């Protein structure tokens, strides 16, 4: 019970008072099938047979589930061809997180602005999700929740650019131009809130679990702050570490920061290289399963290796 209360407390803290701040901000729509699924999964005694018809009611989601389930992410020995089989093998928690990924894909619209690279956005998001999952498995925390939260962590950015272009684009352009790794610091200086909190607010509006809301809201927090909040043994830690991948590989300073944060999280250099390499190997395939276009980016594994020499 204390564990659950902890997440509720910090998920509320992370979202801030966005009911007032974002009074005129349109929350990106979550597909109705995902909302229905979330509502049904609130019943801890729900039966798999009650979930399958919901998933099958949306052909796009059903196809997405089968593509992801049959990807190298799960490495299943045989091809899965039915939703009922996918649910019975992976379980409801894993299916729920695939559905959340589907919602993210539907909601993250390209703002169609030359300074924002949607393919780079998806490259980062997919890599962060894979890394957070592998890191959570290593640390013994909630791997499925870490995957979904890491995938969703920057969901507010394209929406902020689209809806509040005159306000938000100036900060984003300055971040791109100045090369500062931590955009959330620039956001706090300009607005007194950041995209992490905005993303957590969106996740709360969607009715997502508190642990995912908490992970999104705190994804830019350093590991030292996460430990101070007593959340270091939860999915918050690997998700926050995954956020360091955004700039890692593009600059030595950013890669060094990733290595230092990993050490603070209890992930040594060899383990960091291993889970990063495992994650980078699956990016292309998972992006294909998600039907998103990605951009080539420098190898974080190679950047870490250079620091190790």
- Cα 28 to Cα 63, 105, 147, 198, 207: the distances in Å are 22, 11, 20, 12, 13
Q: What is the pTM of this model?
A: 0.90
Residue 12: inside a domain: no
Q: Which of 82, 107, 132 is the last residue of a domain?
A: 107
User: Residue 100 is part of which domain span?
Assistant: 24-107
Report how far residue 133's alpha carbon sits from residue 61's, in angstroms, rounded to the nearest whole number: 21
What pLDDT score does 6 carry? Answer: 53
Q: Cα-flanking dihedrals φ and ψ of residue 266, to 5°?
A: 95, 20
pLDDT confidence of residue 12: 46
Residue 44 tokens, joined: 């801890």
Same domain membership, residue 185 and residue 58: no
**pLDDT value, residue 301:** 95
The CA-based angle 111-15-276, given to 5 degrees, is: 65
Report whether 248 contacts 137 (CB < 8 A).
no
Q: Mean pLDDT per 10-residue run, the chain (309 residues)?
A: 50 56 77 92 87 94 92 89 93 88 91 94 96 97 94 94 88 81 84 88 89 94 94 95 91 92 96 97 92 93 87
Q: Is residue 5 part of a domain?
A: no
- Residue 17 is predicted with a pLDDT of 64
Round to whole Å and give the CA distance between 14 and 216. 8
Q: Are residues 235 and 86 in the same domain?
A: no
Domain co-membership, 32 together with 88: yes
Pair (74, 144) in one structural domain? no
Determine, yes or no, domain membership for 62. yes
Task: Establish if 248 belongs to a structural domain.
Answer: yes
Query: 25 in helix, strand or coil?
Result: coil
Judgement on whether residues 35 and 156 belong to the same structural domain of the protein: no
Query: How many domains is the chain partitioned into structurally?
Result: 2
- Segment 121-173, tens digit of pLDDT: 999 999 999 999 999 999 999 999 999 999 999 999 999 999 888 888 999 99
Together in a domain, 74 and 126: no
CATH number assigned to the domain comprising residue 269? 1.10.3210.10
Give the residues across from 251 on adjacent strands: 248
Q: Identify whether 85 is part of a domain.
A: yes
Last residue of a domain, one of 107, 136, 160: 107
Q: Does one domain contain both 76 and 117?
A: no
Q: Are residues 269 and 174 in the same domain?
A: yes
Question: What is residue 283's predicted lDDT score, i.e. its pLDDT?
Answer: 95
Lookup result for tokens 């059903």: 62
Instruction: State how far the Cα of 49 lies from the Cα of 302, in Å rounded to an integer.
Output: 46
Do 123 and 97 have their domain in common? no
Q: Is 7 a domain residue?
A: no
């Amino acid at each position: 019970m204390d564990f659950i209360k902890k997440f509720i407390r910090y998920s509320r803290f992370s979202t801030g008072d966005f009911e007032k701040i974002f009074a005129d901000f349109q929350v990106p729509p979550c597909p109705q099938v995902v909302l229905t699924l979330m509502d049904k999964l609130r019943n801890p005694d729900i039966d798999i047979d009650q979930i399958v018809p919901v998933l099958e009611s949306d052909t796009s989601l059903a196809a997405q589930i089968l593509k992801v389930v049959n990807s190298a992410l799960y490495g299943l020995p045989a091809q899965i061809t039915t939703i009922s089989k996918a649910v019975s093998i992976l379980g409801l928690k894993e299916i729920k997180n695939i559905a959340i990924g589907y919602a993210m894909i539907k909601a993250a619209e390209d703002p169609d602005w030359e300074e924002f690279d949607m393919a780079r956005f998806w490259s980062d998001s997919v890599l962060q999700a894979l890394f957070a999952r592998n890191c959570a498995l290593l640390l013994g925390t909630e791997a499925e929740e870490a995957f979904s939260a890491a995938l969703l962590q920057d969901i507010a950015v394209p929406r902020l650019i689209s809806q509040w272009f005159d306000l938000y684009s100036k900060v984003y352009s300055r971040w791109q131009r100045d090369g500062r790794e931590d955009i959330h610091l620039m956001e706090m200086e300009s607005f007194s809130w950041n995209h992490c909190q905005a993303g957590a607010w969106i996740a709360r509006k969607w009715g997502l679990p508190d642990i995912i809301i908490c992970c999104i809201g705190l994804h830019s927090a350093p590991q030292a702050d996460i430990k101070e909040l007593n959340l270091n043994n939860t999915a918050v830690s690997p998700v926050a570490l995954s956020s360091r991948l955004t700039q890692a590989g593009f600059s030595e300073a950013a890669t060094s920061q990733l290595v230092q944060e990993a050490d603070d999280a209890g992930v040594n250099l060899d383990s960091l290289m291993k889970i990063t390499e495992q994650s980078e190997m699956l990016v292309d395939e998972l992006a294909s399963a998600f039907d998103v276009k990605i951009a080539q980016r420098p190898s974080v594994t190679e950047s870490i290796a250079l620091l190790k020499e």
